[in-house]
Amino acid sequence: MSTGNGPPRRPARLLLIPLLLVLIWAVALAFDGVSAGERSPAASAVRGPAVSPSSTLAPPSSAPVAGRKEPRFRRLDGVTTAKAYPRFTETFSAWRERVPRIRDVRIPSSVDGHRQPALWLPARREGRPLLVVLHSWSVSYKQRLGVPFARWAERHGWSMMAPNFRGPNDKATATGSDLAVQDVVDAIGWARDRAAIDERRVFVIGFSGGGMMSLLMAGRHPGLLAGAVAWVPVHDLVEWYGYTSRRRPQTRYPGHLRASCGGDPSKSAGARERCASRSPRAHLSSARTAAVPVYIGHGLGDRDVRPDHAVRAFNQLAAAADRIPRAAVTEIRRNTLPPALHRSIEGPTHFGSTDPRVLFARKSGQATLVLFEGGHDMVFHPGLRWMWDLARADRRGGATVGAAGRPALARDKAPVPGAAPIR
């Protein structure tokens, strides 16, 4: 409104509109520059030159982007051990309730073409680590114990794959078979092709039968892995059959092993040979030669898979001077810890204050053994923290993982005997 003494004055609020528009434009420009990494010299140096729409994109770099912080390691609230984790119906819908972005996919086998199911959680950006979760002995890929790993991967920006590898270990096609091992390899290749994972940072983790498969992967395909975590694993199927058939005949394990190996390993030479060839014991020497990092955890009170399996696996990976003496292994087999080893803890175990008590730990080269207070159980966070530290060291260009680093998946020339080459 004019007063008659000069030109009319505009309300003050109208003068703010151009200023606000300029401010919004400036913020949008700055944000676009940071997110695209094209207006920051530091970011451009990391990402490389811009490419035209017709150009072929280079493989993703694992180098950190300037100005982008790596998320810190975070434990999942209320998650400690497998025994304490709440049960739920093992269906895909139950998974989706807890991990909304999870996908149920089918991956064709490079050996027999069978489309193996898997749960798949891609990272939100390229060049991130891959966590391969291996189900336990008597269940399939939808095992409830995989959920915390998927939640952790989502929180920390990793991809996660949970392959079926022929399902429960109750048949010849499963239980450490060539087919089952190749299924895990094929799952890693599938993830590489779909999500441009960082091939130098592929980790496997498993509990019980999954722990056995984790050790098998370390021994049969060490070049694919940046690390393997095995909780309460079976090391020797022949020995385990003898134990379960004598001491645990009421369980389903003896029948599963007879079905898997084609007979009674204690009576049939053929069945014994097949069981032996499917055991980590037959392959772990290759993991030691390749220097692939392996973390093994076992509850001292385990009566399903006695803790000497973990100790024997460690001894295969360790330097001669670091191996657990035979007399001590015999005592551990009886679920007791020799006084000389009690509370002997070497190196970081990554167990937290809410985790079970560590009774013994030893590190030798790239192998770590932890015996804890408990039975046939898995402790979620120590293995995750161990892998997290390895992944960060490799990302920073720190200590090389493995004897010769991690070769590209397509160049891994160590296929499973009798299987089709890795594609």
Enumerate the domain spans of the chain.
92-236+279-411
Taking only Cα atoms into account, the Rg of the chain, rounded to an integer number of angstroms, comes to: 26
Apex 207 CA angle, 203 and 212, nearest 5: 80
Main-chain phi, psi angles of 362, to 5 degrees: -145, 140
Q: How confident is the model over 49-78, as a mean pLDDT? A: 50
H or E, element range at 23: helix 12-36
What's the gap between Cα 13 and its chain centre? 58
More confident residue, 343 or 234: 234
> What's the CA gap between 89 and 103, in Å, rounded?
17
Instruction: Give the range among 83-97, 375-389, 400-414 with minimum mean pLDDT.
Output: 400-414
More confident residue, 48 or 312: 312
Predicted model pTM: 0.80
Instruction: Give the range among 83-92, 118-127, 322-331, 353-362 with minimum mean pLDDT.
Output: 83-92
Q: Confidence class of residue 62 from pLDDT cuts 50, 70 and 90?
A: very low
Residue 88 has what pLDDT? Answer: 85
Q: Is 393 left (phi over 0), alpha (psi -120 to 50) or beta?
A: alpha
- Average pLDDT, whole number, for the chain? 83
Q: What is the DSSP string of 62-98?
A: -SPPTT-PPPPP-PPTT--BTTTSPP---SHHHHHHH
More confident residue, 28 or 145: 145
Give 297's strand partners.
231, 370
DSSP state of 40: -
Contacts of 257 (CB under 8 A, 6+ apart): 175, 237, 240, 241, 244, 265, 275
CATH tag, 92-236+279-411? 3.40.50.1820
Give 117's strand partners.
106
| 200 pLDDT more than 50 | yes
Residue 343 has what pLDDT? Answer: 81
- Tell me the pLDDT tens digit for each residue of 305-346: 999 999 999 999 999 999 999 999 999 999 999 999 988 999
Contacts of 255 (CB under 8 A, 6+ apart): 170
Share of the chain above pLDDT 70, in %: 76
Q: Confidence class of residue 70 from pLDDT cuts 50, 70 and 90?
A: low
How deeply is 397 buried, as exposed, middle or buried, from its count of CB atoms within 10 A (0-12, 13-18, 19+)? exposed
Residue 157 has what pLDDT? Answer: 95
- Tell me the pLDDT tens digit for each residue of 249-307: 999 999 999 999 999 999 999 999 999 999 999 999 999 999 999 999 999 999 999 99
| 39 pLDDT more than 70 | no
| 6 pLDDT more than 50 | no
Are the beta carbons of 148 and 75 closer than 8 angstroms? no
More confident residue, 397 or 398: 397
